[in-house]
């Protein structure tokens, strides 16, 4: 089996050093392993430039969606109401979670290539005073659009509304001032911009907000408060944790700091994305999202013609060492290319040359 680089938004290609951490078997009860868990929790706050006095972290087994559902389940009580802001498939997934949990909620939707209008959201919360929470995606991986969480955070702060942000594809790769924005719950996962492997998600929360969720979860395993209480004692997870994944993530965090932190990683991602968009545009492959709304994480491209065969295109690229993503849009034929992870300018230029050769053929 040939090894390909994953040009996806996660799972993604990782460094050899991160992979090597998974070659060691670890015991969940061992103090050395519990120290790794506590190291990760502290380093996540450091990545976010947050103090341990006001914020805390909770790690949770499963994919990022597990952590999103756990947050909604724990934070939005049965007497609260959540406004979901949606412009992509992952916003829609939160709505489905709310539906399955029988939460009281409403939805504000826009087209997938448009950012939410904060003035329209303001009118919604002025009209519906029952709204206690707002939940939205920062970087919507469906398209790569970057949503205006700064404006939404201010709106939430001004109206005493709890703000929940799915930062799955942005945390660790896009600078953000979480404390200044006053985000109450920020959710991400191991296999995104910090460049670990799949297996757990994490929540960075205001400590007082997290304490306020005590007893509100209708789920045993997805109770953020109970997970936090146990994890706070000595680093022990309540139930069996993905030990290999945790060790790999610890190394990935170290590599983030060695690279120069979020700002340097962001600069690399931006350069990758700029080259990718410019080169593909010159081949007649246009981006779905406009430049000013595009994140540096993943880019959605329109099929260049009605005769374009994505399966053939995908196979051609895979045979030459790269794996890309199909699109998730319903109104346009698209595919997606991610440029996060252990991907550098030389990789992007090699990919663009492969695509150029395909288009010329």
* Binding-site sequence positions for substrate: 336
End-to-end CA distance of the chain: 26
> Cα separation of 232 and 163, whole Å?
24
Q: Which of 133, 227, 138 is nearest to 186 (CA)?
A: 138
User: Phi/psi at 58 (nearest 5 deg)?
Assistant: -130, 130
User: Phi/psi at 335 (nearest 5 deg)?
Assistant: -135, 165
Count of CA atoms in the C-beta half-sphere (13 A) of 223: 19
Question: What residues are paired with 39 via a beta bridge?
Answer: none
- Other residues' Cβ atoms within 10 Å of the Cβ of residue 110: 17
> Hey, is 213 helix, strand or coil?
coil
Q: What sections of the chain are H helices per DSSP?
A: 16-20, 31-47, 64-75, 89-100, 118-127, 149-158, 178-181, 207-211, 224-234, 243-259, 262-282, 310-318, 345-360
Please report, in range form, the residues annotated as the binding site: 336
Contact partners, residue 278, CB within 8 Å, separation at least 6: none
Burial of 284 (0-12, 13-18, 19+ CB in 10 A): exposed
> Cα separation of 184 and 150, whole Å?
13
Pairing of strands 325-326, 334-338: antiparallel
Two tokens at 206? 């205001």
Two tokens at 315? 């196979």
> Hey, is 103 helix, strand or coil?
coil
> Cα separation of 284 and 106, whole Å?
40
């Amino acid at each position: 089996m040939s090894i390909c680089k994953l040009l996806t938004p996660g799972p993604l290609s990782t460094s050899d050093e991160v992979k090597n951490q998974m070659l060691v078997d670890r015991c969940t009860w061992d103090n050395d392993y519990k120290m790794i868990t506590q190291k990760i929790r502290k380093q996540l706050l450091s990545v976010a430039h947050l103090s341990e006095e006001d914020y805390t972290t909770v790690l949770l087994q499963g994919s990022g969606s597990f952590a999103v559902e756990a947050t909604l389940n724990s934070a939005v009580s049965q007497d609260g109401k959540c406004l979901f802001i949606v412009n992509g498939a992952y916003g829609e997934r939160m709505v489905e979670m709310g539906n399955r949990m029988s939460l009281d909620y409403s939805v504000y939707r826009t087209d997938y290539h448009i950012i939410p209008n904060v003035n329209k959201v303001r009118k919604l919360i002025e009209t519906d005073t029952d709204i206690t929470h707002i939940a939205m995606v920062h970087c919507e991986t469906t398209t790569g659009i970057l949503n205006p969480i700064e404006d939404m955070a201010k709106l939430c702060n001004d109206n005493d509304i709890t703000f929940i942000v799915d930062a799955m594809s942005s945390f660790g790769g896009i600078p953000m001032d979480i404390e200044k924005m006053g985000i109450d719950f920020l959710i991400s996962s191991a296999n995104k911009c910090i460049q670990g492997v799949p297996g757990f998600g994490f929540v960075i929360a205001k400590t007082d907000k997290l304490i306020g969720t005590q007893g509100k979860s209708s789920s045993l395993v997805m109770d953020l408060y109970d997970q936090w209480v146990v994890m706070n004692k000595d680093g022990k997870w309540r139930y069996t944790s993905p030990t290999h994944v945790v060790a790999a993530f610890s190394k990935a965090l170290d590599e983030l700091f060695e690279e120069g932190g979020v700002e340097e990683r962001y600069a690399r991602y931006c350069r990758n994305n700029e080259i990718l968009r410019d080169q593909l545009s010159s081949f007649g492959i246009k981006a779905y999202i406009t430049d000013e709304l595009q994140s540096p994480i993943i880019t959605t491209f329109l099929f260049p013609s009605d005769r374009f065969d994505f399966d053939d295109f995908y196979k051609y690229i895979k045979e030459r060492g790269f794996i890309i993503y199909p699109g998730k849009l319903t109104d346009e034929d698209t595919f997606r290319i991610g440029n996060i992870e252990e991907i550098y300018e030389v990789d992007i230029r090699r990919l663009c040359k492969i695509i150029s050769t395909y288009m010329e053929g």
